[in-house]
Chains A and B, each alone.
Chain A
């Protein structure tokens, strides 16, 4: 989906949400403390917009980096995990059990040991999307594609590299979908981590705004999160299309 389309869809939902808030505000006569008026939103955007934009961009960069690390790591571990050796079995068992554990619950412990800098945010962003990626990759890499592999197997040409290439190619759509989907998770995880214990990023902006019950700032932050999520997901989808075009030629 192109960026413009994705962004317009998000914008539509965002505006609908905000309009609903204002509708309820004016219907029930709620104060500006509870629901900020449109003017306040614009004022906050004008005064803090650039700073918050940079904070959201910072979050996105961390999320992207964490996501990238998670994809690489999941690919590597899935290659081990797909086999029926002891290492492969242990890897699969660990992945299935660990993926049920909410990573954000251990985020405070990560911050405890690594501090509140980039390393912690990166680690949390990676961890939060790593396990879903790993499970999908293991599933894809371990599932034979007999219609394509059979010839190579029969003629003694099938090696690990070719096998992985075949399975990757045959499941390209699924892979792209899972990678794009986990991109959202990476953003969410980074924001939650920042909210909990970081000193940078849009999650931190939201936390400060909560201290001051500043809903206008929170709404602006939500808008920025949606904007950057749209950018990132569109980028991922675009990359997926490029890869498909190069491999398939369509």
Chain B
């Protein structure tokens, strides 16, 4: 029997509506409303930004060493990844806390996402460019014109690089930029001179691989030239912050204590052993080096406690995004930064 036109269309609409509802919306907390009027969530979900590696050693420490438990929290630490977005998880009620970079937070806030920053994990951005010391010589950003530079178009390394070029009055059109994707092959083959890496993870791995074939790795660090682009920060939703302030305090306190413990020199061996369980393919000496490198990013010289909010860096990050038209206008960054321990 032929279904009339209107009934058919309505059926399709209804089916799509139901599918979207089932896949996108959880039964747990509501999005903007969050746990309105509900009691404190018993099971906390903490969504990381990336896969389990040295950049999340403090988060893993908090879980595995019972730091969360001691604070009376049952926390599930979920791995991040390329398709994961902690801010979306917060809004959809799939997570209570998450890790996101500043550009993610600012972009989300610009579009009305109810996200707040409760701690800044990385005081220095780990994004740097690796190069072969004997082939590439960079004394200033002006020297970048001589080389082919790998960049992830659309990624935050593009934003950082463009900010650097703008500061030093270099026209991107006059640079040889190479589009980067997942594999390092163009760098290995020597097609690209500078390749973007995370200094404390990929940077260590690659420099070891290069050393095996007699090559020495150097790193081009944009922060040395005044570009401060805030990286991993702990975020939560407006609803959780408003309705469960005590939970936020307990969580952040426990998390930052775990980070301090994980990065301390006396706990290094334990931290390596712990991380080895999550990244079994990485040799221990490399994990040790990665943790040490992570320490320099989370607790650089002059910073005693992890989690401090660097307001100037946030403002600079916001300005970079406005200048590059990644957002239409400033988002009033101060209203997003809510460290509960202050």
Chain A residues near B (Cβ < 8 Å):
12-13, 16-17, 19-21, 23-24, 28-34, 36, 40, 108, 111-112, 115-116, 196-199, 207-213
Shortest Cβ distance from B16 into A: residue: A20
Among B25, B104, B155, the residue within 8 A (CB) of A28 is: B25
Q: CA of A32 to CA of B114 in the docked complex: distance in angstroms?
A: 10
Q: CA of A213 to CA of B33 in the docked complex: distance in angstroms?
A: 23
Q: Other than the known A24-B24, A34-B113, A111-B181, what 17 A-B pairs have Cβ atoms closer than 8 Å?
A: A20-B16, A20-B17, A20-B20, A29-B33, A30-B91, A32-B112, A33-B113, A34-B31, A34-B88, A36-B111, A116-B179, A198-B181, A199-B153, A209-B154, A210-B82, A211-B152, A213-B107
Shortest Cβ distance from B178 into A: residue: A199
Closest chain-B Cβ to A14's Cβ sits at a distance in Å of 11
Shortest Cβ distance from B152 into A: residue: A211
Shortest Cβ distance from A212 into B: residue: B154
Judge whether A28 and B30 touch: CB under 8 Å: yes
Judge whether B21 and A213 touch: CB under 8 Å: no
B12 at the interface (CB under 8 A from A): yes
B160 at the interface (CB under 8 A from A): no
Q: CA of A112 to CA of B185 in the docked complex: distance in angstroms?
A: 7
Q: With A16-B13, A28-B25, A212-B107 as given contacts, are A108 and B182 in contact (CB-CB < 8 Å)?
A: yes
**Chain B 93-114 residues near chain A, CB threshold 8 A:** 104, 107-108, 110-114
Chain A residues positioned under 8 Å from B107 (CB to CB): 33, 212-213
Judge whether B85 and A213 touch: CB under 8 Å: yes
Q: How many residues of B contact A (CB 8 A)?
A: 39
Judge whether A24 and B181 touch: CB under 8 Å: no
Judge whether A33 and B25 touch: CB under 8 Å: no
Among B9, B30, B112, the residue within 8 A (CB) of A33 is: B112
Chain B residues positioned under 8 Å from A32 (CB to CB): 111-113
B235 at the interface (CB under 8 A from A): no
Q: CA of A60 to CA of B268 in the docked complex: distance in angstroms?
A: 53
Judge whether A197 and B183 touch: CB under 8 Å: yes
B326 at the interface (CB under 8 A from A): yes
Q: CA of A208 to CA of B154 in the docked complex: distance in angstroms?
A: 5
B45 at the interface (CB under 8 A from A): no
Shortest Cβ distance from B159 into A: residue: A212
Judge whether A31 and B91 touch: CB under 8 Å: yes
Closest chain-A Cβ to B328's Cβ sits at a distance in Å of 9
Closest chain-A Cβ to B331's Cβ sits at a distance in Å of 11
Query: Which 9 pairs across A and B sit closest by C-beta, in order of nearness?
Result: A208-B154, A33-B113, A33-B111, A32-B111, A199-B179, A211-B154, A31-B112, A31-B113, A33-B108
Q: CA of A109 to CA of B12 in the docked complex: distance in angstroms?
A: 40
Interface centre among A13, A28, A116 (most CB of B within 10 A): A28
Chain B residues positioned under 8 Å from A209 (CB to CB): 154
B83 at the interface (CB under 8 A from A): yes
Q: CA of A57 to CA of B232 in the docked complex: distance in angstroms?
A: 37
Binary A-proximity of B211-251 (CB < 8 A = 1, otherwise 0): 00000000000000000000000000000000000000000
Q: CA of A71 to CA of B153 in the docked complex: distance in angstroms?
A: 35
Closest chain-B Cβ to A193's Cβ sits at a distance in Å of 11
Judge whether A196 and B20 touch: CB under 8 Å: no
Q: CA of A16 to CA of B20 in the docked complex: distance in angstroms?
A: 12
Q: CA of A116 to CA of B180 in the docked complex: distance in angstroms?
A: 10
Q: List 22 A-B contacts (CB under 8 A).
A: A12-B9, A16-B9, A16-B13, A20-B13, A23-B17, A28-B31, A29-B31, A29-B32, A30-B32, A30-B91, A31-B31, A31-B32, A31-B108, A31-B113, A108-B182, A115-B186, A198-B181, A199-B181, A207-B154, A212-B107, A212-B326, A213-B107
Chain A residues positioned under 8 Å from B25 (CB to CB): 24, 28
Q: CA of A19 to CA of B154 in the docked complex: distance in angstroms?
A: 28
B92 at the interface (CB under 8 A from A): yes
Q: CA of A33 to CA of B12 in the docked complex: distance in angstroms?
A: 26
Closest chain-B Cβ to A220's Cβ sits at a distance in Å of 15
Shortest Cβ distance from B10 into A: residue: A16
B87 at the interface (CB under 8 A from A): yes
Chain B residues positioned under 8 Å from A16 (CB to CB): 9, 12-13, 16
Closest chain-B Cβ to A59's Cβ sits at a distance in Å of 16
Chain A residues positioned under 8 Å from B87 (CB to CB): 33, 213
Chain B residues positioned under 8 Å from A116 (CB to CB): 179, 181
Chain B residues positioned under 8 Å from A17 (CB to CB): 16
Judge whether B20 and A21 touch: CB under 8 Å: yes
Q: With A16-B9, A33-B112, A116-B179 as given contacts, are A24 and B17 in contact (CB-CB < 8 Å)?
A: yes
Chain B residues positioned under 8 Å from A108 (CB to CB): 182-183
**Chain B 1-29 residues near chain A, CB threshold 8 A:** 9, 12-13, 16-17, 20-21, 24-25
